[in-house]
């Protein structure tokens, strides 16, 4: 059974340190968008996951507001149809037998 010499263990430690340093420099290079420290988290996520299409914070904020407006309009439409109830023709209310299929 062979045992590792001290030189081999030192080389492994140095190798591990070099890998850590290389990983740190790659992490710094991966960051492409810059955001100000007061930016909302949803705007940061939108900029990060847009694959480079959205680069300005103002554009991301406008897109978030657009999505919010669309959600409000759709929810109002659904709520209005739910409150109104099902469609019942006027003749069926007077003569219920006419409404049967």
Specify whether the backbone of 52 is left (phi greater than 0), alpha (psi in -120 to 50) or beta.
Answer: left
The model's pLDDT over 2-51, given as tens digits with 9 standing for 90+, comes to 555 655 566 767 777 777 777 655 555 555 556 678 889 999 999 889 98
6 and 52: one domain?
no
Who wins on pLDDT, 7 or 85?
Answer: 85
Q: Does one domain contain both 21 and 53? A: no
User: Within 10 A of 61 (CB to CB), how many other CB atoms are there?
Assistant: 17
pLDDT of residue 42: 92
Q: 88: domain range? A: 35-99
| pLDDT tens readout for residues 49-77 | 998 898 899 999 999 999 999 999 999 99
Q: Are residues 2 and 50 in the same domain?
A: no
- Name the more confident of 33 and 84: 84
* 60 shares a domain with 91: yes
Record the pTM.
0.53
Same domain for 27 and 70: no
Residues 21 and 19: their CA atoms lie apart, in Å, by 5
Q: Are residues 20 and 44 in the same domain?
A: no
Q: Tell me the longest C-alpha to C-alpha distance in the chain.
A: 101
Q: How many domains does the chain have?
A: 2
């Amino acid at each position: 059974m062979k045992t590792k010499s001290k030189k081999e263990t030192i080389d492994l430690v140095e190798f591990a340190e070099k890998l850590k340093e290389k990983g740190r420099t790659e992490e710094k290079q991966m960051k492409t968008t810059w955001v100000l420290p007061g930016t909302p988290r949803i705007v940061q996520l939108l900029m990060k996951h847009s694959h480079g299409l959205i680069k300005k914070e103002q554009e991301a904020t406008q897109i978030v507001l657009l999505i919010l407006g669309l959600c409000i309009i759709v929810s109002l439409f659904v709520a209005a149809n739910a409150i109104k109830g099902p469609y019942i023709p006027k003749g069926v209310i007077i003569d219920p037998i006419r409404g049967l299929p």
